[in-house]
Amino acid sequence: MFKQLLGSAHPHVATSLNNLAELYFSQGRYDQAESLYLKALEMFRQLVKLILSECEQLLV
């Protein structure tokens, strides 16, 4: 639902994926958890790159 409302690059979407991965992990659904953890991690990496890029522009 967050993804539809906010877009796939929003931090809330990455957090929601991570939270769902935590739930799956606690249920022993490790393959599904891993897939979501990796998606969330990649989203967070892209967000950090974007933030660093914007910070660099402010410093120039």
SS3 string, the chain, reads: CHHHHHCCCCHHHHHHHHHHHHHHHHCCCHHHHHHHHHHHHHHHHHHHHHHHHHHHHHHC
Range of the domain at 42: 2-59
Total domains in the chain come to 1
pLDDT in tens, 2-23: 555 556 677 889 999 999 999 9
pLDDT (tens digit, 9 = 90+) per residue, 16-49? 999 999 999 999 999 999 999 999 999 999 989 9
pLDDT of residue 22: 98
pTM assigned to the model? 0.75
